[in-house]
Amino acid sequence: YERVLRGHREIIGTRASHTVDIKFRRGDGVVIDCAVTSKVVYAEDGRIVGFSGTIQDITERKLAEKQLEALAYYDPLTGLANRALFTRQLEDVLSDAGRSAHTSALLLLDLDRFKEVNDSRGHSSGDELLVKVGNAVSRLLDSQHFLARLGGDEFAVIVRGATDCAAIEDLARRIIAAISGAMHLEHG
């Protein structure tokens, strides 16, 4: 509720209204998203006598926004970040490059002979392989690293916070080892 009170302070002395989105716990314990809109109420002599406003349940709107964000920034097949989110992350890494003592790197992965899997075993097998590769790589990464599927059979890893080049090379070798072996596919 501090955000609502801060909004009230901002509009004192104005005729403006202020809206803030907050989480609210209903009496039955369910947490919902609400938009609280407030405006100052003045007496005829100009004194502030209070605030009036509305509270609107915007839970469905927030859910729709999350779904749109998922469509905009995540690959629907693998659940990994897509090219758009990858680009934003890469821009962040590049802008932080001069301010960080740690080393960052970009690893690009492209699956050799992926087209052969699609052509010989079908697209469902190709899709399954992409999911398995994404899972195998993500298991090797820690929370500082960022994995994205750029499209087709292309993946990218942004390595952040590495202590030196040897650590990056070690991670690259472990990724290659994890995805180079045979993968059992259920489809096809």
pLDDT tens digits, one per residue of 38-84: 999 999 998 889 999 999 999 999 999 988 888 899 999 999 999 99
Residues recorded for the chain? 188
Question: What DSSP string describes 47-84?
Answer: -EEEEEEEEEE-HHHHHHHHHHHHHHHB-TTT-SB-HH
- In terms of Cα–Cα distance, which of 99, 111, 136, 126 is closest to 188? 126
Q: What is the largest CA-CA distance in the chain?
A: 83
Q: What is the pLDDT of residue 186?
A: 77
Q: What does pLDDT average to over the chain? A: 89
Give residues with Cβ within 8 angstroms of 152, minimum separation 6.
114
pLDDT tens digits, one per residue of 92-147: 988 887 777 678 899 999 998 888 888 888 888 889 999 999 999 999 999 889 99
Annotated catalytic residue 142: no
Let me know: does 89 contact 146? Beta carbons within 8 Å: yes
Let me know: does 145 contact 160? Beta carbons within 8 Å: yes
Among the listed residues 92, 153, 164, 170, the single catalytic one is 153
